[in-house]
Structure 1
Amino acid sequence: MPPKGFPPARQRLQEEKTMTTPRTVLITGTSSGIGLATAVAAATAGWNVIATLRDTSRADALRAAADAAGVLERVQVARLDVTDSASIAEAVSGVIAEHGRLDAVINNAGVGQLGTVEQIGVAPFRSVMEVNFFGVVELTLAALPHLRAVGGRVVTVSSLGGVVGQPFNEAYCAAKFAVEGFLESLAPVAATTGVSVSVVEPGPVASEFVASLGPSVPGLIENAGPYAAAFKAYSRTTEALFDQAQSSADAAAAVLGVLTAEQPVFRVQTSGQARELAGIKLADVDGSAVQAFTSPWLL
């Protein structure tokens, strides 16, 4: 169903198309983790899934998972590099040419970055912003005209790090904060044209994403200088947190819930732990509650 307030004529067009044509969703970053699990879950729910990757040679795990779920025929692998404007345009136009419609986009592709600014310098901030923020902006921009035509939706996998600043995650949190500011501002504007916008905020998730966070922890400790003791403590804390991490499939279930909800809300957390910490932050007018929560991670 289209969002509340959808123009009547366009609503009829949407209902007619929905009855005769399977819905199509484009998902970025589907080689592993939440993206892979979401692609399989959406296909299982009956969607045509355009599962995109920067390097399509890494799609074997996705294909195997889709095949095991019996939905391989509904999962189409395509190349999309979210840092390349031409790649984004080509992917979106390819969906329209082949399927005639685009009902939803799930911005999932992302990179992490550990280290405080004195350890890593400015360059990693720029590269993380290119993927995690500008990639979301460009793909959303390219998709919006097509989403308007069918009353579609934009779903973006943000992070608890898009709500709560976390020690030694300055570049990553800065990019995710930017994503949330962009989409929270866009949401009411897009809604006037029948497009819903939502963010999904996972906490710790057991996936390959954690293993690809950039420099190794021993290397960062070696180059931490005055932050060495704090970084060692942070590493112990986060190791314990990830021992209790939810699975990619659990996080993907929350993404699918937003994708298929009749009236999706703007912000959804994927676990009780994430909801608790997001609640602390959103009620923390002067910032002291979050500082009290995260500072012990460094002791």
Structure 2
Amino acid sequence: MKDSPRTALVTGTSSGIGLSTSITLSKAGFNVIATMRDLGKAETLREHAHNAGVQLEVMQLNVQDDNSVHEAVNATLERHGRIDVLVNNAGAGHLGTLEQTSLEEAKRIMDVNFFGVWRVTQAVLPQMRAQGSGRIISVSSIGGLVGQPFNDAYCAAKFALEGAMESLAPVLARFGVAVSLIEPGAVNTAFVANVGGRQHMTPSESDPYQALIAGYLQTVQHAYATANIGQSGEDVAAVILEAATTERPDLRYPTSEVARARIGL
């Protein structure tokens, strides 16, 4: 493994943390398989890779589709013979209370943020166990440790992810596979894009939550603009690189002082 580049499979790489992680790992010498649901969005990633002077492979992978997951994992193994690092980054945001959010939308958020990680990890693990080494790195959130207003479905999915990975970690350690959770706080590249889904809320002529949500968004946007609380995708990617390369990776990586303060560390 030390004599040839390690292979990293990264999900959700069309923008944000996933894009930055793909570039960062490529710069560090990894063979990067950068995956995304819609290859029509790959041009931005390719432009960043070109500007950074690195090469990576772009592959279609929809974490909500069993066949898509297995096809991508099998193709990676056929080309490279191993997967040394899996970065579970693909995710979806949602803004709204339990009452406002349809069950269908709640299931979608859970499917992307939790079962998507489950699918890809389950597909990769047999190879990692066979080779006796590997890193499973999942991008969670401080919202997986501390509930946040109007993030009911999102936090539920991230809490589930945290529990599953923490339970899995000591077992996989017996096979030489390390498990890590990346826990960003505010990330500038993700917040606005990932709070979609309000079109799925139960409609109401007089929604009692609308004024509260508007005030919440105004407060958050003001904090982003004035307090510089948001990290960049590159900041988080640097933490992922540490988890991928350090000899003894931690289980949890809060990615900033703001994140650590939010969870009381």
TM-score by length of 1: 0.83
Task: State the number of aligned residues.
Answer: 260
1:225 alignment partner, SS class: coil
Aligned to 1:88: 69
Instruction: Indicate the RMSD between aligned Cα atoms, in angstroms.
Output: 1.9
- Which stretch shifts more, 239-248 or 100-109? 239-248
Answer yes or no: is 1:252 the counterpart of 2:233.
no
Structure 1 residues 100 and 203, CA, compared in 2 at 3 Å: closer, same or farther? same
Amino acid in the other structure paired with 1:70: G
Displacement after TM superposition at 1:242 (Å): 3.0
Structure 1 residues 226 and 144, CA, compared in 2 at 3 Å: closer, same or farther? same
- Distance in 2, Cα, partners of 1:35 & 1:215: 21
Structure 1: gaps spanning 5 or more residues: 1-16, 281-299
Aligned to 1:295: none
Structure 1 residues 164 and 179, CA, compared in 2 at 3 Å: closer, same or farther? same
Displacement after TM superposition at 1:186 (Å): 0.3
Q: Work out which of the residue numbers 131, 135, 145 in structure 2 matches 1:163.
A: 145
Amino acid in the other structure paired with 1:114: L
Structure 2: gaps spanning 5 or more residues: none
Amino acid in the other structure paired with 2:7: T
1:156 alignment partner, SS class: strand
- Distance in 2, Cα, partners of 1:213 & 1:228: 15
Aligned to 2:2: 18
Aligned to 2:256: 271
Q: Work out which of the residue numbers 94, 97, 108 in structure 2 matches 1:113.
A: 94
What do the CA deviations read for 1:140-169 (whole angstroms, capped 9, x no partner)? 111111112141110000011111100000
What do the CA deviations read for 1:263-282 (whole angstroms, capped 9, x no partner)? 100000111000111226xx
- Distance in 2, Cα, partners of 1:51 & 1:120: 32
Aligned to 2:181: 199
Structure 1 residues 100 and 238, CA, compared in 2 at 3 Å: closer, same or farther? same
1:119 alignment partner, SS class: coil
Q: Is the 8 A contact 1:24 1:104 kept in 2?
A: yes
What do the CA deviations read for 1:149-204 (whole angstroms, capped 9, x no partner)? 14111000001111110000000000000000000000001101110000000111
1:265 alignment partner, SS class: coil
What do the CA deviations read for 1:221-272 (whole angstroms, capped 9, x no partner)? 9867222332222112221233321111111111111111111000001110
Q: Work out which of the residue numbers 78, 83, 88 in structure 1 matches 2:59.
A: 78
- Distance in 1, Cα, partners of 2:171 & 2:110: 24
TM-score by length of 2: 0.93
Q: Which has the higher helix share?
A: 1
Task: Give identity over the alignment, percent.
Answer: 48
- Distance in 2, Cα, partners of 1:96 & 1:205: 32
Aligned to 2:113: 132
